[in-house]
Amino acid sequence: MDIKQTTSAFAALSQTTRLEALRILIKSGADGMLAGDISDMMEVRQNTMSANLSVLLHAGLVRNEREGRSIRYYADFEGLRGVLAFLMEDCCGGSPEKCQPLINEIACAC
């Protein structure tokens, strides 16, 4: 993970349609969602959604997989992990006690 990949990932998340799409895919987890179902659910035009999913894909935040005529998209948790790891690199050096609240929040109720 380098600075270019990381800024491109954050740029991908800096726009409402894409952030919501990724949140939907994060909620969908391993089930993923079909591209068309995402655009229907979000009431976004087909080509706009396609372009935005493409940005998320190239940023390494989602994966996809053809399924008949449709294409199913999934959140890429591994890519997300890499981005956050780059951001938080060496955070503990300065102030270990600051990390815990962050961890707790991400941890949710697993």
Partner DNA sequence: TCCATATATCATGAATAATTGATATATTAT
Partner DNA sequence: ATAATATATCAATTATTCATGATATATGGA
> Closer CB to a copy of itself, residue 22 or residue 53?
22
> Closer CB to DNA, residue 26 or residue 44?
44
The answer to whether residue 58 forms part of the interface with a copy of itself (CB under 8 A) is no
Positive/negative CA dihedral, 85, 98, 102, 8: negative
The answer to whether residue 42 forms part of the interface with DNA (CB under 7 A) is no
Angstrom distance (rounded) from CA 31 to CA 8: 25
Angstrom distance (rounded) from CA 54 to CA 70: 15
The answer to whether residue 47 forms part of the interface with a copy of itself (CB under 8 A) is no
54 binds, among a copy of itself, DNA, none (CB under 5 to 8 A by kind): DNA
- With H, G, I as helix, E, B as strand and everything else as coil, classify residue 8: helix
The answer to whether residue 2 forms part of the interface with a copy of itself (CB under 8 A) is no
Angstrom distance (rounded) from CA 4 to CA 11: 10
Question: Do the Cβ atoms of 75 and 28 come closer than 8 Å?
Answer: yes
The answer to whether residue 70 forms part of the interface with DNA (CB under 7 A) is yes
Which residues of this protein are in contact with a copy of itself, per CB under 8 A?
3, 6-8, 10-11, 13-16, 19-20, 22-23, 26-31, 75, 77-78, 80-82, 84-96, 98-103, 105-110
